[in-house]
Structures are given as structure tokens and as C-alpha cells.
Structure 1
Amino acid sequence: MSVPVRKQVMWWGVAALVLFVAMWLLGQAVLPFLLGAGIAYMLDPIADRLERMGLSRTMAVVVITAGAVFMLAAVILLLVPTLLRQAAALIETAPEMMDKARGFVYIHFPELVPEGGTIGSALSDLGQAMGEQLGKFAGTLLGSVRGVFGVVALFVIVPVVTFYLLLDWDRMVERIDALLPREHAVTVRRLATEVDGALSGFLRGQGLVILILGTWYSLALALVGLPFGFFIGIMAAVLSFIPYVGVLIGGATAIGVALFSFWGDPLWIGAVVVIFAIGQVVEGNYLQPKIVGGHVGLHPVWLLLALSVFGALFGFVGLVLAVPLAAALGVLTRFLIERYLESPLYTGKTAPPEPAPPVLVELAPRGTLVTELHKAYRREEAENNEKIAEADAGGPVQHDVPNRQG
């Protein structure tokens, strides 16, 4: 007999509540393990491909680990210092840029910002507030990153967790599949496949798009000599996971810096505009359709909502888990909508009753039952005769033999 739906909902609700409380209490402690699991998930297709090429699972994981360690060391040594230096310089220069922009507006468009007017005061305060708030934000972010990603967690726990999870990934998936409730195993497998499609489409596909755009923006802006060009290019590429946001914020920042740095030389200002125009055309017409377009994606609004909600609830751990949880909730929401559209609540019709269990009917030739009864009668008569003979051989014994002559 199957478990009632109400009891199943109660059990799954308790499991979700336990998970929520665990994330709330142990978020920072389990963060390195979550990062290791996420990295292992992203690298598992590479390990599978190396296995198909003839390498053992262990050797494939060793090769991937060596390559990942080399790339991480190169990024930390070559890119991170430049990014931090340019980000700090841009934050320090932002108030000066705002003052220059305000002066330009005062000189060329005095009617827009009359002296003592609201707009003028707002622009004046915006420059000061921007420098203060950006400085506080950068300090808070770097402080939280140093607190979360300690030396031990970053360089020891995460690589070790990634190595062992990547080594046993296929066996873990098989074990989890074997533990699924048998009644819902097919449905859970279907939902897991859809979640994997959404995650792989966003993380792997969008990661490749960000890598390509980051290389183009940072190198191109650095070649035209734009101050802070490397940081602005990386920032625009990272924000490109939200359509149009990366190019708008990155483009506006780059053009503002170009106006501040190349004023009087429109050729270089136009070059900055062309760089972002080319990046947007390539991203919209080639990168997104070819790399990400074939996957079940995450809607930008849904992703922003997930980042805001989970970040507010669980801090940095919530930001790390926002993408996979948003993918899972999106797939689950679509599944529930499908069930709702099939339910009597939507159609207004009661569901047909369950069919009765089938009855097995065996067809036999005519006279089979009579023949079997005669065989059973002869067997019983033979057994009784044997008992009478044995009793006569042992002495006179009173027997009660059924009379079947009639």
C-alpha cells in the first residue's frame, strides 16, 4: 500500500526545514565543501571525456587537478593584483570624475543645473557619496572574502574536497539514485535531469561566454590605453550573465573614464564605444545562441531575485547557492504548473476512477476439468488401497473406507 500524499508532503517538508536550518547555522563552516562540490560538478564532464579517451578515472582526475592548480596559481599571481589595484584606483578617482562631469554640465548647460538648485546639489553630493560608499563596499567585500576564504580553506580544503568528489562522482550519483523513493524515482530523475540542464547551460555555457568577453574587453581596452581598462573589461564580462546589464554598466563606466581621460581626442572615445559595440554584437548573435541557447536557461529576473533573497538570508553562502537553488526551484515550479494544468482544480473535471486490477483467465480445452477430477479420484483410491493392504499385513484393523460405489 502506497504512503498517503499528505504524509509524503509532511516528510519532504520536514527534510526541507532541516536543510534550511542547517544552512542557517553551518553556512560558513560548510562553504568550502559547497565550493568543492560545485567545482567537481563543473569538471565532471571533462573527467568523463578523458575517460572515454582511455585514461582511468584516477589519472583523469589527477590531470584535471594539475591543470586547475596551475590556472589558479596563474590567476592569483598575474590577474588578481592588477584587478585589485585598478579597482582601488577607480574608486579613489570616481569623486574627481563626478566633479569634472558636474563642472562640464555647469559650463555648457547652466540652465539644467541652476546655482543652488536641486540637481546641482544632488550631483555634488553624489560624487562624495560615491567615493565613500564604494570605499566602504570594497572594504567590506574584501574583508568578508578574507574571512570566508581563509588560507586553509582556499588552498587546502577546497582542492581536497574537489579531488575526492570528482574521483567518486559517478559512484555517488549511482548511490543517490539507488536511495531514491521507488514510487517517485522516475519523476525525481526527470527533475534532476532538467536541473542539470539548467545548471550546465548557465554555469558552463555562461562561464565560457564570460571568459571570451573578458578577454576581448580587457585586452582591447588596455590596447587603446584606457585607464582601469583591464578591471572595467573584466567587470563588464562578469556582469554579462544578466543580458544588457554588463554592456550597459561596463560601457557607461568605460565611456565615462574615456571622456575624463581622452577629452579633446574623440578618436579614442569612439574606439571605446566600438569595442563595446563589437562585444555586444558578438555576444548577442554568436556566443549566447551557440553556447548557451541550446540549454534550459535561467531568466535574469528570477536569477536576480534568487541572488537577493538567498544573499540576504544566508550571506555569502546564499550567493554561492543562489544559482543551483534558482535552477532547482525553477524546474520544480514548472513541474508543479504542469501538474496543476492536469488537475481537476484547473480542468474542472474529476479524475476518472482507477481501473480494477486485471483478472487472469486461463483457457483450457473442453473436458479438461472432468479429466483432472477422474485422475484425482484414481490417485486417492490407490492411496486408500495401499493403506488397507498395509493394515491387513499387520493384523486385523478396523478401517473406515469411504464408499464411492454410488
Structure 2
Amino acid sequence: MNKNEIKKYIFIAGLAVAVCVISQNFSVLASFVLLVLGALKPLVMGFMIAYIFNIIMNFFEKHYFPKSNSKAAAITRRPVCLLCSFAIAIAIIILVMYIIVPEIASAFGVLYAEIPPAFTTAKDFVIGKLNEYPEIQEQISSLEFDWANIAEKGSKLLTSGLAGILSSAVGIIGGLTSAVTNLVLGLIFAVYLLLRKDKLFRDGNRIRHAYFSEEFNAKCSRVFHTANETFQSFFVGQFVEAIILGSLCFIGMKILKLPYAAMSGTLVGVTAFIPIVGAFIGAGISAFIILTESPMQALIFIIFLLILQQFEGNIIYPKVVGGTVGLPSIWTLAAVTLGGGLFGIFGMILGVPLAGTLYKLSFHVLEKKESELGIKSPDDSKPQKPQKPANPKKPVQSKQKPAKAQKK
């Protein structure tokens, strides 16, 4: 055997040993992988934050003294644009909380005040309808909705289960502390990435060209370019689509004179970042809050939002997001379902652009294979419009006057 065959057999034997070891110690390997993923969570979160804020920061950098070549503008461009992007994000979060939280608190206050009278009215209605069943009437009449009794039983339950509540509180505080720590570390990492992104890109290109072939680099560049274009188009399109949907919801509710218009429009717009199901989640919460004011108005709101959702799904979304992502509806639904089942809300949001990227790359490979085999794709078989013949160019007449004879 030559050296290449010896290396091949050694690699196969090592791979077989590795598979046996992994299969026998799968639980240990799974724990190790979860530990590594938990340690990398702040870095992954920071990369996602940096990618989203980079879209906003690029917009500011294009408009921050674009024609100036001064050293001061070059030094201050990146920090100032970064601060502006974070300031806008914080302002949007504060505005959303300022609109939503007071309205929800008011709705729960109304709900707390309306439950006892509604309970009494329902009890009297049932008693009036059960004249033929005096025993059931007596049992229903004995029912009382006493807040003091409920509070007393609740306090006894809390006292009896104090140990369990304390352990749950410790677990909640620990989880909250871990989430805040990961968020802070992710923000710090994101700021570092955004401030040093030019040098990181240059170093990455140097490593690619030094250790990999040109063919491999070309394939990687095509994949990264397609993914970057799809993800940016998705995020920008979702943001614009959420603003349009929330504004239309607010205007329609004002026209129909429905309560909680600002809160419902904001909530529907914010939840619209989740494709397909997001607007329905916001609609359900808003309908429940409007129900505290009037059941009929809640029904009108549901009918109005269903009509608005059809208009948005068939006209607005395909124009704003669908055309840029390029993913059919059935694959969009599959991406949302699979991403939500695996990674929750973040999976539902990121599943669509990721599926759009894979969809575009797979069709690029398919078209390349068809061209190699000489097969016409369905796009090539469509009749093309005949092009108008180009106008023949007229001879250009020289406008120069004949030179005068030089004097001897």
C-alpha cells in the first residue's frame, strides 16, 4: 500500500473508533455540547444584535457628511452613527412600552371592577331560567363572589407553600439574572463588532485567500452575499410592513370608534415581526382587552382585523417582503412552523430568511446543473418580447471648419 491508502485506512479506523466512543458516551457528549452552547449564547446574541444594528448604522453612515473627506468626519462617523442607531432603538422601545403598558393596566382595572357585577347578573339570569329545578336554584343562590374570602384563601395557600414559592422565586431570579447578564455581554460584543467590522472583514478575507482555493472562496462569497441580501431585505421589509399594518389598524379603529386604538395598533404592529401568526397573536390580546369594554366592539374588531389581514397578506406583504425574500407561501409556513418548534419566537423570525437563502441557493445549483445538461428551465421556455431594432446611427458630421491656409 502507498502512503495515500495508508492515510485513508487510518482515517476510516479513527472515524469508526470515534463513532463507537460517541455512541457509548452520548449523554456526556450531549451535556458537553449544551455547556458549550450555553457559553456561546452571549456571543451569538451579540452577533445577532450587531447584524440588525448594522443595517441602521449603514443608513446613518451614508448620510453623515458623505462628501466630506476631513479627518474629523472619518474619526467620528462610526461612533456617532452607532450612538444614533442605539438611541433610535431605545426610543422605539420606550414609546411602545409607554403606549401599551398603561392601556393594559387600565383594561385589567376595568376587568377587576366588572367581574363581580357580571357574576351577579349571570347568577340571577340562570336562577330565573331554572324555575322548574328549585334544588339547582338553591345551590346557585348560595354561591357568593367574595373578594375577601378569595384573598384569605389565597394568603393561606401562599403561607402553606412558602418553601415552594421561595424556591420558585430563587429560580426565577436566577434565570432573570442569567438573561440580563447574557444581554449585557451580547451588547458589549455587538458594540465591539460594529466598531471593528472593517478590520474584521479585512482579516477574514486575508485568511480566506491565504488558506483556501479561489473556487471555494467564490462559492463562499456567493453564499454569504445571498444570505446577507435575503436577511437584510427581510428585516427591512418586516419593519416597514409592521409600521404599515400598525398604522392601518390604528386608523381603521379610529374610524370605527373602537376603544384602545393606539394600544391595539402598536401591539399588532410589534407582533407582526413574527411572520404569518404574529398579527393574530396581537389581535387576540387586543380583542380580549376590548372585550372588557364591549363584546360587540370586540367582535367588530376581530372582523375588521381579519379583513385587514387579508389585505395585508395579499397586497402589502408580497410587495414589501415577499418579492425580496423570494420564498413561496407554503415554504414560508413550513419555515415558521419548524423554526418555532425548534427555537421558539427567534426561530419563527429567523426561519423565513434562512429558508429563503437555502431556496435561492438550491435553485441556483439546479439552474447550473440544467445548463450543463442542456435542459431548458421553465423560465427559459417563456416567450420573450421581441426587442425593437436599434436605430441606425447617422454619420456624424464634423463641425470643424477647414483650417485656413498658413501664410508663407
Rounded Cα–Cα distance in structure 1 between residues aligned with 2:96 and 2:173: 19
Alignment of 1:359-374 (within 5 A): none
Q: What displacement does 1:185 show?
A: 0.9
Q: 2:220 — aligned with what?
A: 188
Identity %: 14
Q: Deviations over 1:3-61 (max 9, x none)?
A: 99xx9xx9xxxxxx9x9657523144435523432334433531552368236554333
With 329-338 and 55-64 compared, the bigger mean Cα shift is at 329-338
- Asked whether 1:63 is paired with 2:93, we answer no
- Asked whether 1:300 is paired with 2:300, we answer no
- Asked whether 1:284 is paired with 2:319, we answer no
Q: Deviations over 1:218-271 (max 9, x none)?
A: 56547866455444333322343456534444445545654552357x7x9647
**1:200 aligned residue (232, 244, 250):** 232
- Asked whether 1:164 is paired with 2:192, we answer yes
**2:293 aligned residue (245, 261, 266):** 261
Give the letter for the 1:178 counterpart.
R
Distance change >3 Å, CA 24–CA 163, structure 1 → 2: closer
Rounded Cα–Cα distance in structure 1 between residues aligned with 2:77 and 2:96: 27
Q: 2:394 — aligned with what?
A: none
Q: 1:175 — aligned with what?
A: 203
Q: Deviations over 1:305-331 (max 9, x none)?
A: 1132134xxxxxxx5477557644663
Answer yes or no: is the 8 Å Cα contact 2:49–2:187 preserved in 1: yes
- Asked whether 1:25 is paired with 2:51, we answer no
Q: 2:357 — aligned with what?
A: 331
Give the letter for the 2:335 counterpart.
W
Rounded Cα–Cα distance in structure 2 between residues aligned with 1:281 and 1:195: 29
Give the letter for the 1:295 counterpart.
V
Distance change >3 Å, CA 49–CA 326, structure 1 → 2: same
- Asked whether 1:309 is paired with 2:342, we answer yes
Alignment of 1:86-97 (within 5 A): 86-87=103-104, 93=111
Give the letter for the 2:217 counterpart.
A
- Asked whether 1:46 is paired with 2:76, we answer no
Rounded Cα–Cα distance in structure 2 between residues aligned with 1:39 and 1:209: 16
Give the letter for the 1:61 counterpart.
R
Answer yes or no: is the 8 Å Cα contact 1:32–1:158 preserved in 2: yes
Give the letter for the 1:37 counterpart.
A
- Asked whether 1:217 is paired with 2:249, we answer yes
Give the letter for the 1:68 counterpart.
S
Q: What displacement does 1:285 show?
A: 1.7
Give the letter for the 1:306 counterpart.
G
Rg comparison, structure with higher value: 1
TM-score by length of structure 2 reads 0.52
Q: 1:125 — aligned with what?
A: none
Distance change >3 Å, CA 143–CA 236, structure 1 → 2: farther
Corresponding pairs, count: 292
Rounded Cα–Cα distance in structure 2 between residues aligned with 1:339 and 1:278: 38
Answer yes or no: is the 8 Å Cα contact 1:306–1:322 preserved in 2: yes
SS of structure 1 residue aligned to 2:325 = coil
Q: 1:130 — aligned with what?
A: none
Q: Which stretches in structure 1 are left out of the alignment for 5+ residues?
A: 11-16, 111-115, 117-138, 312-318, 348-406
Rounded Cα–Cα distance in structure 1 between residues aligned with 2:232 and 2:44: 21
Distance change >3 Å, CA 25–CA 246, structure 1 → 2: closer
Answer yes or no: is the 8 Å Cα contact 1:51–1:57 preserved in 2: no
Rounded Cα–Cα distance in structure 1 between residues aligned with 2:174 and 2:242: 24
Q: Which stretches in structure 2 are left out of the alignment for 5+ residues?
A: 16-29, 130-135, 137-168, 374-408
Give the letter for the 2:62 counterpart.
R
Distance change >3 Å, CA 283–CA 196, structure 1 → 2: same
| Coordinate RMSD, CA, aligned | 5.3
Answer yes or no: is the 8 Å Cα contact 1:40–1:163 preserved in 2: no
Distance change >3 Å, CA 48–CA 35, structure 1 → 2: same
Distance change >3 Å, CA 67–CA 260, structure 1 → 2: same
Q: 1:79 — aligned with what?
A: 96
Answer yes or no: is the 8 Å Cα contact 1:254–1:272 preserved in 2: no
With 182-191 and 30-39 compared, the bigger mean Cα shift is at 30-39
Answer yes or no: is the 8 Å Cα contact 1:214–1:236 preserved in 2: yes
With 273-282 and 34-43 compared, the bigger mean Cα shift is at 273-282
